[in-house]
Amino acid sequence: MSGLDRRSALTAALVGGLAASAGTAEAAGKPRKMSAAQQIDMLVSRADIEEVLFDYARGNDHADEALIRSCFWPESTHKHGGFDGTSTKFVDFAMKILPKLKYCKHHISNVSIRVKGDRAFSECYYAAHHQRDVKDGTGEEDIFFEGRYIDLLERRGGMWKIIRRRGMSDWTSAPKPAIPYATLPPGTHALRSREDEYYTMLAAFEGGR
């Protein structure tokens, strides 16, 4: 059996299984929330969106400008740290830094995705390590970052891309001791309450905004 045949068979089995499960639920008097087709679309959409998040990390690690830009729709907006503008301009800013790094690695985890038709809301955690030249030319240094990406995405022509990104810088460790949390600029890091940007953007997504 070829790879294509195996995928087709797996899809058919999945559809059949989901349909059977839905039928059983209905027979038991339980409401069916989504059709089999809707469930498959949600699962495929989640997988596609995860690839967008991973592509962004991979693009940063290899200073691949085209790959980074492919993650955003042209009118996408971007707020991260002191930057507040378009994603296009943010990539311009990032590409002044990334090619100069000796080493760069971004890790994505804790991915959470909600899909509503052709719109989606996601949050993921990132951990990044940059190795760079010391400004005084005396060698190299390491700097570590942790934070979150909170994104609104849209699907157009079957393709998912980010339409709004809110980057949260929750922790930074420079060559000296970790930068005190209290000294981080307001609005750039996590809040340990429902005032956090996650809840604000989630409410906007749920409200169709």
DSSP result, 41-64: HHHHHHHHHHHHHHHHHHHHHTT-
| CATH for 187 | 3.10.450.50
pLDDT score for 103: 85
Claim to verify: residue 101 and residue 10 sit in the same structural domain: no
Of the pLDDT bands very low, low, confident and very high (cuts 50, 70, 90), residue 74 is very high
Residue 29 sits in the same domain as residue 46? no
pLDDT at 24 over 50: no
- Residues 171, 108 share a domain: yes
Residues 114 and 58 in one domain: yes
* pLDDT band at residue 28 using 50, 70 and 90 as cut-offs: low
Q: Does 192 share its domain with 114?
A: yes
Regarding whether 83 and 21 lie in a shared domain, the answer is no
Look at residue 46 in the predicted model and tell me its pLDDT: 97
| Same domain (yes/no): 156, 180 | yes
Query: Are residues 67 and 10 part of one domain?
Result: no
The sign of the dihedral angle between the CA atoms of 173, 176, 179, 180 is: positive
Tell whether 98 and 18 lie within a shared domain: no
Residues 9 and 48 in one domain: no
Q: Which of 83, 76, 163, 180 lies closest to 121, judged by CA?
A: 163
The domain tally of the chain equals: 2
When mean pLDDT is compared across 88-92, 128-132, 171-175, the lowest value belongs to: 171-175
Amino acid 112: pLDDT: 97
Segments forming the whole domain that contains residue 145: 42-206
pLDDT number for residue 73: 98
User: Do residues 154 and 71 share a domain?
Assistant: yes
- pLDDT tier at 7, thresholds 50, 70, 90: very low
Query: Do 26 and 2 have their domain in common?
Result: yes
User: Which helix (DSSP H) or strand (DSSP E) does residue 78 occupy?
Assistant: strand 72-80
- Helix (H) or strand (E) run with residue 115 in it: strand 103-116
Identify the CA nearest to 116 among candidates 46, 32, 11. Answer: 46
Q: What does the pLDDT look like over 135-178, one tens digit per residue?
A: 887 888 889 999 999 999 999 999 999 999 999 998 888 766 55
CA proximity to 106, closest of 165, 60, 72? 60
